[in-house]
Amino acid sequence: MSDGLPPLREVVAKYELNAKKSLGQNFLFDLNLTGRIARAAGASDEATFLEIGPGPGGLTRALLAHGAKKVIAVERDDRCLAALEEVAAAYPGRLKLVPGDALALDYPAFLAEQGVTGPARICANLPYNIGTQLLVGWLTQKQWPPFYDRMVLMFQREVAERIVAGPQKRADYGRLGVLANWRCETKILFDVPPAAFTPPPKVTSSVVELRPRAKLLECDAAALERVTAAAFGQRRKMLRQALKGLGVDPLALLEAAGIEPTRRAEEISVEGFVALACALSASLAIQ
Ligand code: SAM
C-alpha cells in the first residue's frame, strides 16, 4: 500500500538512523510484512492502537495505511522523531508521537491522559532486550479486563514459544507460559526470518497474538508468581521437593490443590498452578 512517503531505507539514510543494539533496534522495511502484521492486528477495526518503539515508522505506516484511525506511538530514541513527524503529517490527526520509555509508563493512566476511553490494541515489533519485561507488565495488570483488548507482538521465536507453551510442550513450558495463558488466549500467528530485518538478528522471530480472557480463574498474581518460580526453579524435581522453599508445608499445599506430590512442574496445567496459588494464599492467610 503506497502512502506517498519515501521508502523506509531512504528515511533511515536521511535521518542517519543507524540501528543501535542497546535499544534492540532491528527495523522492518518490507511493506508486505508490515502490512501482514497490521492486518493481523485488525488495523481497520475501531480501536486505538498503541505501538511501542515505532523506530523509523515501518509498522506505524502499515497500521495507518491499513485504516487505523488513531495510533499512539511511544519511542525512546529521539533520533527517530523527525522521521515519525513526516508520517504524522501524512496522516493528519491520526498519529500521536510520545517520546519516552515504555518501561516507565503506567498504561491505564497514560491512556486516560491521551483521551483514550475504550481499550487499546497493542501492536509492536518489540525491542528484543525488553520485550519479555514489557509483556509481563501488561499481563500482570491489576485491573482485569486490562487496558487492551488484544496484543499483536513480535518476539524472538524462542520467547514466542515460551509464551504459548502449555504442559504438552514441556521444554518451553515455564513461568511465562503459565502467566500468559492464565490471563490470555495465546497463539503464534507466523514466523519472520532474520533477513526481514535490518540489521538481521541471529534468530527467527514470531508474531504472537494474546487476547485477554474475559473470565479469569480467580487467583492472586503474586502467589501464582511465587509457586511457579519455586516449581520451575527446580523443574526436574518432584513438587513435594521443589515447593519446599515457599515457607509452608508442600504436601498440605499439593493436597489442597489436588495435585500428586510426585508430579513435576512441567506436568502441571495452568489450572493446577492457579489451584496451588490459591492454596498458598489461603495457607499464608491463616499462618
Ligand atoms: N517498529 C520499528 C520496526 O518494526 O521497524 C522498530 C522496531 S525495533 C525492534 C524496536 C524499537 O523500540 C526501536 O525503535 C527502539 O528505539 C525502541 N525502543 C527501545 N527501547 C525502548 C523503550 N524502553 N521505550 C520505547 N521504545 C523503545
What are all long-range contacts of 115-118, with beta carbons under 8 Å and residues at least 24 apart?
Answer: 116/48, 116/70, 116/72, 118/47, 118/48, 118/149
Domain endpoint, select from 185, 212, 239:
212
Global pTM reads 0.96
Task: Tell me, yes or no, whether 95 and 115 share the same domain.
Answer: yes
Residue with cell 498440605: 252
Q: CB–CB of 55/27 below 8 Å?
A: yes
Q: Is 72 in the pocket of ligand 1 (CB under 6 A)?
A: no
Structural domain includes residue 2: no
User: What pLDDT is recorded for position 2?
Assistant: 65
Q: CB–CB of 64/95 below 8 Å?
A: yes
Q: CB–CB of 96/54 below 8 Å?
A: no
Q: Is 125 in the pocket of ligand 1 (CB under 6 A)?
A: yes
Q: Is 62 in the pocket of ligand 1 (CB under 6 A)?
A: no
Domain endpoint, select from 168, 193, 212:
212
Q: Is 23 in the pocket of ligand 1 (CB under 6 A)?
A: yes
Alpha carbon nearest to ligand 1 atom 10, residue = 127
Q: Is 74 in the pocket of ligand 1 (CB under 6 A)?
A: yes
User: What pLDDT is recorded for position 168?
Assistant: 85
Pick the closest to residue 174 from 184, 164, 189, 186 (CA basis): 164
Structural domain harbouring 245 = 221-286
Task: Tell me, yes or no, whether 16 and 55 share the same domain.
Answer: yes
Task: Tell me, yes or no, whether 126 and 225 share the same domain.
Answer: no
Q: Is 43 in the pocket of ligand 1 (CB under 6 A)?
A: no
Return the CATH number at 248: 1.10.8.100
Centroid of ligand 1 to alpha carbon of 54 (angstroms): 6
User: What pLDDT is recorded for position 1?
Assistant: 55
Structural domain includes residue 164: yes
For 28-50, write each residue's pLDDT tens digit: 999 999 999 999 999 999 999 99
Ranges of residues in the chain with a pLDDT under 50 are none
Task: Tell me, yes or no, whether 128 and 225 share the same domain.
Answer: no
Cell output for 108: 491505564
Contacts of 165 (CB under 8 A, 6+ apart): 172, 173, 174, 177
CA distance 69 to 48: 7
Domain endpoint, select from 170, 187, 212:
212
CA distance 65 to 32: 12
Substitution site in 51, 98, 125 for ligand 1 pocket (most atoms within 8 Å of beta carbon): 125
Centroid of ligand 1 to alpha carbon of 70 (angstroms): 19
Q: Is 42 in the pocket of ligand 1 (CB under 6 A)?
A: no
User: How many domains, in total, are found in the chain?
Assistant: 2
Structural domain includes residue 3: no
Task: Tell me, yes or no, whether 67 and 199 share the same domain.
Answer: yes
Q: Is 272 in the pocket of ligand 1 (CB under 6 A)?
A: no
User: What pLDDT is recorded for position 282?
Assistant: 93
Task: Tell me, yes or no, whether 154 and 38 share the same domain.
Answer: yes
